[in-house]
Amino acid sequence: MKRQLNLVLNGNGGVGKSFFAVNLVQFLKDKALPFVACDSDNENSTLKRFHSDAAFIDFSQPRLLDEMSRAFDRTPLVVVDCRAASTDVFLGYFKTIDLSSVLGLLQARLTVLMPLNHEADSRCCLALQYPTPQRVRSFWLRRRGPSAFGSGMRFSVTE
């Protein structure tokens, strides 16, 4: 498996980021795939509550986000449940480290998984404009079903 960093990211709260991350991590566990899961929400760490082995990433000091890259020393797959208000922090960090170069050195891909409530909901809050699009992919996860954590929640996927 090639290295892959999966960010579950959206600037808005209540769109299903943690719900999706918790279920993605459970899927990876059920399939016995090696991965590291991280949560960046120190106030309401849903991922850590459901998966106690998830690490915590403190983004109050952006260079601490380097832990995402260091996780590749342990596994080729990293999943990060990003706090609602952290989009600007992550995008600023990616600009600071020159994301395209770092992904190239790590031989990794970044996949952004972005849950949405509505078709037009916050699509423009994430502007991934990198010179190497083959290393960055974005997926919009449009929620279909009851509110967050309700039974039967489903997402439709758009690249």
- pLDDT tier for residue 77 given thresholds of 50, 70 and 90: very high
Pair 77, 56 in one domain: yes
% of residues, the chain, pLDDT over 70: 70
pLDDT at 79: 93
Pair 143, 82 in one domain: no
| Domain span at 45 | 27-97
- Domain C-terminal end among 72, 97, 122: 97
For residue 87, being part of any structural domain is answered with yes
Please tell me the pTM assigned to this model: 0.78
Window from 13-27, 102-116, 144-158 with minimum mean pLDDT:
144-158
Overall average pLDDT of the 64-80 stretch: 89
pLDDT at 84: 77
Asked if residue 70 has pLDDT above 80, the reply is: yes
Give kind and range of the element (H or E) at residue 127. none
Reported as a single tens digit per residue, the pLDDT across 126-144 is 444 334 445 666 555 555 5
Distances (CA, A) of 9 to 31, 73, 105: 23, 23, 23
As a whole number of angstroms, the distance between CA 80 and CA 62 comes to 15
**What residues pair up with 36 in beta bridges, in sequence order?**
78
For residue 3, being part of any structural domain is answered with no
For residue 14, being part of any structural domain is answered with no
Number of domains in the chain: 2
Asked if residue 121 has pLDDT above 90, the reply is: no
